[in-house]
Amino acid sequence: MSKQLEVNKLSVSFGKVNVINDISFSLAAGRIGCILGPSGCGKTTALRTIAGFQQPTKGYVLLGNKQISSPQKSLPPEKRNIGMVFQDFALFPNLTVADNIRFGLRNWTTDAQQKRIDELLELIGLKHLATAYSHQLSGGQQQRVALARAMAPKPDILLLDEPFSSMDIDLREQLAREVRNILKQENITAILVTHDQHEAFVMADEICVMHDGIIQQHDTGYNLYHKPANKFVADFIGQGVIITGEAIDTGKIKTELGIIEGSTPEGCQPGCKVDVLIRPDDVIHDDESNEQAIIIDKAFKGAEFLYTLRTRTGVEVLCLAPSHHNHQINESIGIRLDIDHLVVFKQ
Amino acid sequence: MKLKMLSIIAASLSVLAGSYAQASNEVNVYSARKEKLIKPLLDKFTAATGIKTNLVTAKADKLLTRLQNEGRNSPADLFITVDAGRLHRAREKGVLQAINSSTINSIVPSHLRDPDDQWVALSQRSRVIFYVKDRVKADELSSYEDLANPKWKKRICIRGSSNIYNQSLLASMIETNGEQAAEAWARGIVANMARPPKGGDRDQIKAAAAGQCDIAIANTYYYGTMLSNKKDPAQMAAANKVAIFWPNQSGRGAHVNVSGAGITRHAPNKENAIRLLAFLVSPESQKWYAEVNFEYPVTADAETSDMLKSWGAFKADNLNLSRLGANNVTAVKIMDRAGWR
Amino acid sequence: MLIAILFSVPTLTIFTFVFQPATDTWQHLYDTVLTEYLTNSALLVMGVSIGSLTLGVSTAWLTSLCTFPGKKIFIWALLLPLAMPAYIIAYTYTGMFDFAGPVQTLLRELTGWGYGDYWFPEIRSLGGAITMLSLVLYPYVYLLARAAFLEQSVCVLEVSRSLGCGPWCSFYRVALPLARPAIVAGLSLALMETLADYGTVSYFGLGVFTTGIFRTWFGLGDETAAAKLAALLLLFVFTLVIIERGSRKQARYHHTSNKYSQLPEYQLTGLRAFTAMLICFLPVFLGFLLPGGQLAYWAGITFDEMVDASFIRLTMNSVLLAASAAILSLALALILAYGKRLMPQKSVLAAVRISGMGYAIPGTVIAVGIIIPFAWLDNTIDAFTREHFNISTGLLLSGTLVAVLFAYMVRFLAVSLQTVESGLGKIKYSMDDAARSLGYTPTETLRKIHMPLMKGTLLTSLLIVFVDVMKELPATLILRPFNFNTLAVRAFELASDERLADSASAAIMIVLAGLIPVILLSKSISTSRAGHVKATRSQ
């Protein structure tokens, strides 16, 4: 598969503040990528640089084989053939749904325009609302129109800036799935920017986790969860706590919760200090265990309880337990570790 | 190459600049005299001579600023204004040149011309006292100086100190009586005002007629236009309630001011400007001013109007008019100090 | 940026005088009249604020959220006084209500009183000037306040009512605070006009900044001291501008909802309806019908003498000049405001601010500020071409309509800029980005997205400038080319020669020509509230 987008050693700064620091990644045609990170990590700036609303201070961006952004030459957004879906959708309130979609098709013949509009309205399931104005639509409908409008001119890449953030939380995953299906049907290369990992997991084929203007890890969702590249990713993706430990032998780590078996990081000799990621599902509630912990908080999750526990030594860990194990706060329960994918970092 | 381009641009611009640059058969007038009181004469001049006239009217000081900044490229030929002080100021700013016309010199007596021939008066008006006939007797009045007498307390109507006619009147007092006496006089007038100064000259006459005060100070021609205002009977009625009093007849005579004109320093059409000046002081034009705006002619022999004749002959102050201009700033400052608003 | 600098030139020219050493004239002013100028100007500003706020806000509220008989007429009739030049209304009121005027004369005849026997409000006083200016300037407040009331999302008003707040309570506690930025913007326009007014205050014999500047400059012949006064005036204005900015900043957080539906209209009946009608009728009557009637009466007397073939040309001149100034000023304001949006750098912002200050500077001061640099430029070019090509270019700009239009821009750009900026401010930046990402250049975006979205705002700007230029006097008077007259010049020359009746025809023509745009304006505002156009406003 050919590279549709390549970002090479890109840096962006506002005045003296470096917002993006030397990031590189690429995306193959037809893939959906995601830049995931907490707010202020530089993800939106990265997207806006790709779109052309921001100039890079270093590095370059290639779209197809064309260089579109570099400190020397930056193609204006309107010359890039990109599509963009905005956080607030930015539908033109003076135009109907159909005319919003038509907006980017001005160089097409009228027939071609109409065909494309019909096709997209069909795709997003809003054929009956072609002549409606944006304020007459629900949030989800507005979003689909925004998507259709961005896709209409068949852009080389579609950029989605937090497209679900103004939606009800319950709707987000469902909408993300819908959008993914639409993109896949049109075989569009896309980049999604979000702070919500669930959205990212549902929509994206591959995810860049970004923090402090740097890409921390570029991988699939599964790998981000199970094989985080560093402590930040481990902490940011999924739930869990990091406890300290000490390698006592190859493949053995001594922690306050007992000895854990698994591979130790490279170059870690016995005696070196490590951090171990403990996910809630790694901590098993076991009344038989000698290891006791006090429940300091609990949250009901339907089939499970998520307990926050404090061990004897004062370490806090999370524990996911089937919900028939209903214990009270301040009660002491037995736990043990059962780790499938050990995530451990050298300190 | 660059030079060639520049010269093309310059040439095309000079075409755009139009007819001002070339001397043609026209004359350009900057006038502080209102359009209604100059345009008809200009039209007559054009009809008589075939010389086209172009007119801009505005306040004198602003026209002077424009004239001064336009410098040697100014299109203006003639500067007309309605006060000797402004004529003096134009001369001081160096925007005028000597007229040197024997025709004009033979018509207008020398005390109505600038000593260096920089300007010439076109018409005369006097600033006099009007009294309400049924409340004041003419023999109670004597001179401008007497108006500061406490016997007129709260009986005088006069307009504000921003008005050039008041400034010139005070300037003449400074010239004859000295600065200190003039200031004392100004304070006396302020104390005798029936109301804070407001409105124009006609308003003073109207207020006197309506009973707000007994004496009004105004220019003669305002009185004339009120008397002849057939369309507004109220104005006529007001004017009929007051009578004109010529002050200082036993002394220096009534304060006189002029409207006048000068030829601008860089006038492109000087010859035409002189012809226009001569036309403006001709008996025909002088009569027109007397009839339409009730102003006195600058030539002794010119025919006046019935209205002017009915006011009788009077002795005019023969003070050199350029002194009004010279004392103007002092006059304004005195008025500020005296609280004359 | 360049444009902004260009239009700051006259203002800055005036400022250069400030840095010349103080003359003894300044000392003289300081000793004698400065305190009076300051107090009177401050009182005038305060009075006009109270007057125009009371009239403007109450009528705006009544006509946007209440129903009562005649409302449809009042909606546009309330704008009519905008077409009335302040000095004209001052002349007519004086003509009617002065001591020697028909009203007091009649009163004396009926009662047999004489001078001093009775009390009658003195028209030519500070209070009179405040009344006159409030009567013709309140429409700015009304215009912007009404637009703001109409734009308020219905939700907040419904919330307030559901919380047990009646119509009046909703007005004071919800609608008024929400509309505050618009009201302040309207008020600042009114106050800038107040500070720049010369005709009314000088006719009423008031010592304020403008009359002081004129007197010092032209009476005492001291440019430096006059410029110092002008600078003080600008300081005054600058404070106003800053206050206004401050209040507009908060506006961004004001609107919380996208939902617009039919506004709740309070049906007024009986005594309340009558009171509402009276409140709306008074400003229209006092600010338009009464002086308009007097003008019509005068015009009726003098019409045969004053209206001739040249009168039609005057009207054409005025209308063409006003229309081109309105369009030009709008175009410039769009460029400036949009440029500011695209490149929000400090230098651009400052340049835009300064070029917007002209509104509060008296027209004559601007005119002088233009003559000096223009004539200098002309003479420099002329000297250059004479030297190198032996051609005299003469005066290229001075004394042409270009100079006149330039003066209008300096003076009225602020109006266009204010309206366009507030209009642009309501359009979210993501709209720009969306259009750009769909292949539209910034200019195309402006044309295709911003301009249609701001249609109401753009019309408002056009029409206000049109009406203002129709009324404009001092700059036209001094900068115009030979043989070029406008209605305002004609009206003023006659009026200042104390020929009020003769000036009426021209004055009434100004009012009539201003009338059409005013009616159009109110139409555009009413229709622009359709939910779909303004629904962009959020956060």
Residue C262 forms part of a structural domain: no
B24-124+257-308 under CATH 3.40.190.10, yes or no: yes
Reduced to 3 states (helix: H, G, I; strand: E, B; else coil), residue A228 is coil
State whether residue C242 sits within 8 Å of chain B by CB: no
Per-residue confidence band for B12, with pLDDT thresholds at 50, 70 and 90: very low
Instruction: Compare all CA atoms of chain B with the CA of C394 and give the residue at the minimum distance.
Output: B73
Cβ contacts of B337 on chain C, cutoff 8 Å: 32
> Which residues numbered 187-206 in A keep a CB inside 8 Å of some CB on C?
none
Cβ contacts of C431 on chain A, cutoff 8 Å: 90, 92
Per-residue pLDDT of C298-339, as tens digits, reads: 888 877 776 777 788 888 888 888 999 999 989 888 888 888
Q: Tell whether the model's pLDDT for residue C155 goes beyond 60.
A: no
Per-residue confidence band for C533, with pLDDT thresholds at 50, 70 and 90: very low
Residue C271 forms part of a structural domain: no
H or E segment and range at residue C208? none
Within 13 A of C14's CA, how many CA atoms are on the CB side? Answer: 29
Mean pLDDT to the nearest integer, B229-248: 88
State whether residue C494 sits within 8 Å of chain B by CB: yes
What is the per-residue pLDDT for B152?
Answer: 93
In the predicted model, what is the mean pLDDT of chain C? 78
Asked if C437 lies within 8 A of A93 by C-beta distance, the reply is: no
In a mutational test of the C interface, the residue from B95, B332, B335 whose CB has the highest number of chain C CBs within 10 Å is B332
Per-residue confidence band for B244, with pLDDT thresholds at 50, 70 and 90: very high
CB pairs under 8 A between A and C: 79
Report ipTM (2 d.p.): 0.78
Q: Which residues contact C33 (CB under 8 A, 6 or more apart)?
A: B336, C207, C212
Kindly report, as residue ranges, where domains of CATH 3.40.190.10 are found in chain B: 24-124+257-308, 126-254+320-338
Say whether pTM exceeds 0.80.
Answer: no
What is the per-residue pLDDT for B169?
Answer: 93
Pairing, β A66-69 against β A17-28: unpaired
Per the structure, the count of domains in chain C is: 1
State whether residue C46 sits within 8 Å of chain A by CB: no
Q: Both tokens of residue B220?
A: 């003669």
Chain C: closest CA distance from residue A17 (Å)? 17
Q: Tell whether the model's pLDDT for residue C12 goes beyond 80.
A: no
Instruction: Compare all CA atoms of chain A with the CA of C538 and give the residue at the minimum distance.
Output: A88
Reduced to 3 states (helix: H, G, I; strand: E, B; else coil), residue A209 is strand
Regarding chains B and A, contact by 3 or more CB pairs under 8 A is answered as: no
Pairing, β C66-67 against β C266-267: parallel
Instruction: Compare all CA atoms of chain A with the CA of C442 and give the residue at the minimum distance.
Output: A78
What is the per-residue pLDDT for A159?
Answer: 92
Mean pLDDT to the nearest integer, C393-404: 79
CA–CA distance, A155 with A143 (Å, rounded to integer): 18
Per-residue confidence band for C50, with pLDDT thresholds at 50, 70 and 90: very high
Asked if A92 lies within 8 A of C532 by C-beta distance, the reply is: no
Q: Which chains have 3+ CB pairs within 8 A of C? A: A, B
Asked if C393 lies within 8 A of B162 by C-beta distance, the reply is: no
Q: Could you tell me the fold of the domain covering B126-254+320-338?
A: D-Maltodextrin-Binding Protein; domain 2 (3.40.190)
Cβ contacts of C430 on chain A, cutoff 8 Å: 86-90
Per-residue confidence band for C355, with pLDDT thresholds at 50, 70 and 90: low
Instruction: Compare all CA atoms of chain B with the CA of C376 and give the residue at the minimum distance.
Output: B69
Residue C265 forms part of a structural domain: no
Pairing, β A273-278 against β A258-261: unpaired
Residue C141 forms part of a structural domain: yes
Q: Tell whether the model's pLDDT for residue B239 goes beyond 80.
A: yes
Residue from B268, B216, B265, B271 nearest B239 by CA: B216
Q: Range of C101's domain? A: 2-252+276-534
What is the per-residue pLDDT for C257?
Answer: 41
Chain C: closest CA distance from residue A4 (Å)? 18
State whether residue A108 sits within 8 Å of chain C by CB: no
Query: How many other CB atoms are there within 10 angstroms of residue A187's CB atom?
Result: 8
Chain B: closest CA distance from residue C65 (Å)? 43
**Which residue do the tokens 């800053």 mark?**
C242
Cβ contacts of C26 on chain B, cutoff 8 Å: none
Amino acid letter, C344: P
Cβ contacts of A150 on chain C, cutoff 8 Å: 437-438
- Closest CB to C393: pick one of B13, B57, B59: B13
CATH number of the domain bearing residue C467: 1.10.3720.10
Q: Which sign does the torsion angle of CA C423, C428, C429, C435 carry?
A: negative
What is the per-residue pLDDT for B28?
Answer: 93
Asked if A106 lies within 8 A of C441 by C-beta distance, the reply is: no
State whether residue C342 sits within 8 Å of chain A by CB: no
Per-residue pLDDT of C306-315, as tens digits, reads: 677 778 888 8
Per-residue pLDDT of B198-211, as tens digits, reads: 888 888 998 899 88
What is the per-residue pLDDT for C227?
Answer: 76
Asked if B66 lies within 8 A of C478 by C-beta distance, the reply is: yes
Instruction: Compare all CA atoms of chain C with the CA of A148 and give the residue at the minimum distance.
Output: C438
Residue C270 forms part of a structural domain: no
Which domains are assigned to chain A? 3-235 (3.40.50.300), 239-346 (2.40.50.140)
Per-residue confidence band for C20, with pLDDT thresholds at 50, 70 and 90: low
